[in-house]
Structure 1
Amino acid sequence: MKTVIHTAAAPAAIGTYSQAVRHGDLVFLSGQIPLDPATMEVVDGGIAAQVRRVFDNLSAVCEAAGGGLDNILKLNVFLTDMGDFPVVNEIMGEYFTQPYPARAAVGVAALPRGVVVEMEAVLAANA
């Protein structure tokens, strides 16, 4: 059985998907882009501001699912410029503590709304 997770503290879906879906003890978080949930606009301030907004959005969905960023088992990062990867690493260190989740970083040609970063995750709901 699957349960849909939704929170107004993260951007509403801009397509045919849920913010997250829980199945058993796992929660699958859809990709988050750097949208301000109040305005649904991309945040200003370059890559650092966009990465922080994505982590804030992921955190809000994790909290709605009954967990937090430290309950993330797997994090997938999509970047339009792999040169931004050091910024992701630095900011990730502000949001996560050890043991860190498994992670992949993938360079992509483009992302929705012209953003430079998107992240999706798998969360352990009862960790």
Structure 2
Amino acid sequence: MILEFVLAGTVLSPPALAADPAGTHGAASMLTRKNYASLPTPAGPYSLAVRHNETLYLSGMTAFGTGAQGKSVSEQAQAILEQVKRIAEAEGTGMANLIKVTVFVTSMDGIASLRDVLSRNYDGAYPASSLVQVAGLFSPDVNIEIETVFATSNGGADGALRR
């Protein structure tokens, strides 16, 4: 089986991708992967954020390691969204440019309060959204995970995450 990847209209075979370990694919398509010193290091083989041209993709984030760990879904959501906002700001974008959000919850209990938290954080700029109930997440103290996708208007900030 031959795998091919399409970036900026050019078909790249896996060897062409492997030849570019920095994660960039020429001037037509910029791809960067980032982690942030003030956030937990990913426990697996993934990046917290990946920027492709003017789109910023954030991995699923949880309240693990925050004061909200083990608390209600809405408290965990607020802690997660604060982390998301910090990354977005460090990358030169913000909640007004949130394109898509995917929310994974272990229970549908408390969904009304979760929607209130989400609504307050969106500031009226509602993204496309999916809400998925899952059997469980990696820790019993984590009841929600949020993935986000942002539009960016430039090549990005210096990537320095500020508290």
Q: TM-score range by the shorter chain?
A: 0.7 to 0.9
Q: Which has the higher contact order (CA 8 A, sep 6+)?
A: 1
Q: What displacement does 1:92 show?
A: 1.1
Structure 2: 5+ residue runs without aligned partners? 1-29, 155-163
- CA–CA separation in structure 2 for the residues paired with 1:103 and 1:9: 27
- CA–CA separation in structure 2 for the residues paired with 1:44 and 1:108: 17
Q: CA RMSD in A?
A: 1.9
The 5 Å alignment of 1:11-30 reads: 11-30=40-59
1:92 partnered with 2:118: yes
Q: What displacement does 1:29 show?
A: 0.6
Residue of structure 2 aligned with 1:101, choices 124, 127, 145: 127
Q: Kindly name which structure, 1 or 2, has the bigger radius of gyration based on alpha carbons.
A: 2
How many matched pairs? 124
Q: What displacement does 1:58 show?
A: 1.2
Normalising to structure 2: TM-score of the pair? 0.68
Partner of 2:39: 10
**Cα separation, partners in 2 of 1:64 and 1:126, compared to 1, 3 Å:** same
- CA–CA separation in structure 1 for the residues paired with 2:98 and 2:38: 18
User: Is the 1:11–1:57 Cα contact (8 Å) retained in structure 2?
Assistant: no
- CA–CA separation in structure 1 for the residues paired with 2:139 and 2:68: 8
User: Is the 1:10–1:61 Cα contact (8 Å) retained in structure 2?
Assistant: no
Q: Which has the higher mean CA deviation after the structures are superposed, 24-33 or 91-100?
A: 91-100
1:29-80 Cα shifts (integer Å, max 9, x gaps): 100001246xxx7624322221111111111221222111221100000000
Structure 1: 5+ residue runs without aligned partners? none
User: Is the 1:6–1:61 Cα contact (8 Å) retained in structure 2?
Assistant: no
- CA–CA separation in structure 1 for the residues paired with 2:37 and 2:72: 24
Partner of 2:144: 117
1:66-113 Cα shifts (integer Å, max 9, x gaps): 111221100000000012321211111221112311100000001122
